[in-house]
Amino acid sequence: MSAAQATLNHTLPLDYLLHLADNALVLGQRNAEWCGHGPILEEDIALSNNSLDLVGQARLLYQEAAAQMGNGATEDTLAFFRDVPDFKNYTLLELPHHAPLAGTSASERDFATTLVRNFLYSALMVLVWDKLQHAPHAQLAAIAAKSLKEVRYHLRHSRDWLLRMGDGTAESHGRAQAAVNHLMPYTQEFWTSTEYESEAAKATGLDMASLQNDWNQIVDQALAEATLKRPAAGGFVPTGKHSVHSEHLGFMLAEMQTLPRAHPNATW
């Protein structure tokens, strides 16, 4: 590693790496909850593979963060031994697969809610990773290039389902529209700023606000093709990336972290 690369690695904010990693880990865990519960075998496998991609992205980002932190930090300590106030993921990603506001779920898992969330997030990350693959931070650029290939598939998969559900039967259309109505307000968090994102922009050249128009275009075009309506903007703006979360993250982490916390010295 050159001296210039070392300087860039040092100046990339730790909280920004954790934000990217936490996003991937939390959504990866949520998608993993479909394993064995998919509506058809092919989609059970597809969502499991989506989860593995996201967890793989999280691992690489946590490894980079741990190297910066030192003091015995590892990808496992960052994933399994931090508590709710330490996580910096978007609130959108920690929500369960159903919600009272969606009004469509007869079980713990609503397929429309899952696929609409994957679409909204993937539409963002295909833009983020595309920009970050050109960042002067060598390791982040490499992670971004790998992740971009994966998220392009995630976007295509979720978009295809958005169209099938939205422009399908009256039942599927109603479920898709309810999921859009429920989840879209949470995307407002994408465009709020944090101090660590502002600092990261100096090192990576990525200004999140500059992606909003392109994201809107991806989303609006897909919604139009799916005969779905975008709800009006407004209301409460979530604060997950500021480490202020919904009640759902604590329950999710309790399930995800229980084994390593019960057996912290276990090896596999």
What per-residue confidence (pLDDT) applies to 100? Answer: 58
pLDDT tens-digit series, residues 51-105 = 999 999 999 999 999 999 999 999 999 999 999 999 999 999 999 987 655 555 5
**Tokens at residue 162, please?**
């958005």
Rounded distance, CA 188 to CA 71, Å?
36
Mean pLDDT of the 1-7 span? 43
Rounded distance, CA 148 to CA 51, Å?
15
Q: How many helices (H) and strands (E) does the chain have?
A: 11, 0
Angle, CA of 45, 51 and 255, to the nearest 5°: 110
pTM greater than the 0.95 cutoff = no
Between residues 111 and 102, the one the model is more confident about: 111
pLDDT tens-digit series, residues 215-228 = 999 999 999 999 99
Bridge partners (DSSP) of residue 244 are 239
How many CB atoms neighbour CB 255 within 10 A?
10
Establish how many alpha carbons lie within 13 A of residue 149's alpha carbon, considering only the half-sphere containing its beta carbon.
Answer: 6
Domain 8-262: homologous superfamily in CATH: Ferritin, core subunit, four-helix bundle (1.20.1260.10)
Rounded distance, CA 122 to CA 112, Å?
15
